[in-house]
Every structure is written in structure tokens, then in C-alpha cells.
Structure 1
């Protein structure tokens, strides 16, 4: 029976009645009317684990999260099947063997997630008397650096251990940004282009904006809060709004850019004109405000990278990773990092 599908269509009264009858009939309540799976089937154990711990009714989950849980469950089931084990057979030797298997086969990021799934399942089993011992205490997760990584393509049967950092350290990031203005070759509007490119670099580095968020900025996206600090309001993934503080050095470059292109530096939240627009080589270039495109932004970063002699794989998104990692390394609270960058954060892991 699929508990998840069934319970979604029940009201509160039906839900309580169902739990009473179903759990009592299947002898899943102890003398204190607490959930007890000491004598349950493995099917009941698994379905109740998914229902109570992974997908409770009052929470919504993204397709990415659902897919990850299914993948973790499949990995565990495959391991048990390959070794002719059932969930009831899991004890200290099996926990250590599975732990070793996961750490050897998967990169740290995936291994931590899969072992966390295993830990939660074992804890649920102990809480419900399915397991008589606290087996999760024997799980040891690999250490993962704070940051972002690429797991390179490997064959299905091979361990995913080859990773490449997708971020810059502070020195390299600031050195690279210094080349953003230097790539300008045009003579007309040269100063405006240089100021524009410098601002692009600083906003990428000091705000953690996604490329799409950066390109969608208007002059009206900026505002002062009650304490007089400048913020940028953006609409991120899933159309979720958030506000990002603008550092003083970036603010200075922002106003300098506005002055150079002949625009007002007075904050006007009703101004929907694009912050970044193409500066055409025409007699009246600033009258044609066509919003800057991603290919142009990508080209700016790539040309700066090439001129600076840095890693040619660097893209605009690397600055977002750099921003998040620098915040964490400077002990900025996780909740603050999450709000500013609009990311999902797990212990020592960051998902964009």
C-alpha cells in the first residue's frame, strides 16, 4: 500500500482514524501507544520512514530533493541486494562495510549525502525499535571543504573522485577583475566601457549575483534602507525576491559608472532602464539602451581571464561560488549567506 498517495487525500479526522486502525491492526503500536516497528515488515519500516522522516505532509520538496532521496535509497538497496542482506540484517559489520563502500565509490559531496540518508534511516529504526542498537553512531562521513566542485564524468562503475574547484581565491579574483576594464579596445566610449566592465566585475565578486540576475538589474533595483545602506533588490530562481547589500567600494564604482555615462546618480526605484546596456559605436550611443546579453558578459569574463593568464575555464558563475566561500571562510552565519545568495545549505556543502 502506498501510504504517501493515500494520506494526501485525507482530512485531519480521516488521517487520525486511519492511523489508529492501520497501526493497531498491523501491531505497530506498543503498550504506550507509541510507534513500534520491532515486529514489523520491512515494507512497513521503509514506507513509514519515507512518510515520517523524508516526506512529511506539511513540507514541500523540489524535484531535485525527491530525486536525490530516491537515488540514495536505490544505492542502499542495491548494496544490500548484492550482498544478500535484508534491512533486518544490518548491524555493526554491515554499517562499516556500507560506509567504506560509499566513501570509496563516491566523491565527498555525494558520499556525505548518501551517508546522511543512511544515518537518518538507522536513527528512525532505533527510535521505533526496528533496530535494538544505535547503529548510526558507527557512520563516519568524509571531510568536505567549504566550496563548490565539479564532479567530472566517469564510467558508471568507477568511483567519482576527480573533482575540480570552480572558484577563485580572494587574491586571484581581485587580480582578474582588474583586467575587466583593460580588455576594452574601442576608442569611442572607451571610458564608459571601462567603467561598465569594472562595475560588472565588482558586482559579480561582491554580491554573488547569478549572471541572469546581474543582467536584469535596473537603476530602480537599488535602494537605501532605513540606516542609509545601499541594497540591490533582485528576483532570483523561482521568482523569489531577495535583497543584497552593496559594499562601499562597489557603491563608489556604481555611481562613478552612472556619472561617466551621463546618467543621474539619484536613486529612483521607479527607473526601469537597464543598468548595463550595449554601448554602440554611433554618434548617439547612449540613446539606444539595449540590455546587455549573456554572450557579451561571458565574452568580457573570458577575455579578462585570457589577458590575466588565469584558468581558462573561469566563467561568470565562478564569482558567485567565490563570494559564498569567502563569506563562509569569514564566519558569516549560514542563515545570512543563505539569504544573500539564495542557496540551499547543508553542513559543509553548498548547492546552487
Structure 2
């Protein structure tokens, strides 16, 4: 006997939350569905549905118990929303002056971003993307938009040659409203994302990195650039470092609340430790390892400028970014024979698949191959 399945879906019909019931044609299942209270058929979604209430949801499970398997993968949330660092103050967004002919994010959207403790950069991106989406459909209520409307909007962005990353950010911002704010998990599960771009990371030669470090303006800038490279840190992780995170006894650096809100340890360079001690005696930071003129946390823009200026003075023609130094750290470790799993731990990658990208840019394997021209 074939196993029967009923897949639950989150639907919004006539401004009411509903439970969609999707299943392959089966007389037994259809008969049980027909017995549910006030069950209806949706031509738009091509499935039966009932109102989404706790009683109806319990009734669905009890009705099909022992008869059909209830698939809830598209009904309950499995998202990683809310795993960000540094919550943002949304009051500035709430107090914006109205602009004629332009819609702003609903207050519930901003409130949920704050409650989920989203980082300032994420809030800025989500609000911008979602408001652009809302204003594209300026003559319609956002609650009334469906999967096809979203697809048409994404199709417009593709035709305008929007970047892969921007389209993904737009999808995340839109899904956040329908799935988190309106509490309808995986409602737009079927909305297609653009095929991932397989771009290789840009990497510097070790000699280029050392030249950049030598061309920094002062000991503070030297330590910033050295940390990005020698510990494989992200820009935000350098900014969040506190004095106590440098463990000279164990020669490790504690990275608190890295990407995905995960702590990890990475290696501390002996050469860098000497520079950090000189820096500390000269600059006397109070809490964070790197602080601004008024004792506040150093800015992300400052790190970008430090790397850019040092690269220019070093005569590096390519555009060097802080993240390029992290890529170089991983690649150079791999080229020196470090096990990929260790590199994964140092970088804080959840999966080795993410780390494996560096096997495509490491050049040590090429040295073993004799060029046919030679």
C-alpha cells in the first residue's frame, strides 16, 4: 500500500490566514478533507483550504492520523532569522518625515527587526529592499500581493541586470515580511532564487600582503591589517575585538559572536603580538582593542580606508578590500599544507563546502603540473 501524504501550506485568502491542504488525488484523503469544517477550494493556489486556527490545525492532525503523513516542511519556520549581532535603534526610521507618493515600511516590520536583534547593516538593507518592492506596487496593499507578483518583480530586477546578491537580499526582505512579520512560515517557499554565481575569491600573494602591512601609516593601522590577514578575521570581527580577547598565553584570539552569532578561536601571530603590545602602550585603548578618537568603537569605514591607503602606497594596482586579506589567509594556509578542516574552524565556516572554494585558488597544485609548452 502506497503511503499517503498531505502537505500543509500557509495561505492568505481574503485577508485571512488559511491552512492549504495539498495532496495527490486520492479518494480516501479527499473524503476526509471534505469532512473538515468549512473547507473550500482555491483556484488561485489549486488546493483545498480551511481557516488557520489552533482548533483547525489540531483537527487536521487528528483527522489524518494513521491514514496519511502530514508534511509540515512548508508550514513551520525553519529559518535562521534573528541570528545577528548588535541590535539597531529603529526610532530614526520610525520618525522619518512622510514623502508624497512614497510608502514606508509598516511599523510592524520595523518592530520585528528590532525584536529579532538584527544588525544595523541588515536593517538598512531589508528596509531599503522592502520599501522598493512596496513602491513598485504602489497602487496595491502589500498584504494582497502573491507569489506571482513577487516573481514578476524579481523578473524586472533580472532584466535590469541587478546583481545576484541584491536579488537575494530583496527576496530575504520580502520573505521576512510575509513569513516573520505576518507569521506565515515558508509561505513563499516556492519562489525561485537566482542560480548562485560561482565566483572565485580574489587573493593576494604573500609578498603583496607583507608589502601592504609595511606601508601602513602607524602601529595602529599595522595591527588592524595584520589581524585581518594573520587571523583570517572579517572586518566586523576586528571591530568587535576586546582587549581580553587576545590570549597571549595560549596564542589564540577569541572571536565573539562572529557570523551566525557563533564564537570561535583563531590563531595569534607571534610577530603580531609584539606589534599589539607596542600599540597598546602607545594608544591605551579602554574596552575595544581598536577605538575611535572619543573612545567609541572604531568604524568599518576606517578599516576600509586603512587597507585602501596602504595598498596604494604599496603599489598594488588591484582593488584590495579587508575581506581579500581573509581570503588570502585561508589560501596561503591551504598552500602550506594545512588541513582544510582546520582552516574551516579558523574561519568559522559552518560547512567544509564553504571552505572548499579555496582549493580552486590555491596554486601549490599547479607547481606539480608540467606545462605542455615547457
TM-score by length of 1: 0.45
Bigger share in helix: 1
User: Which of the pair has the greater relative contact order for Cα pairs under 8 Å at 6+ separation?
Assistant: 1
TM-score by length of 2: 0.43
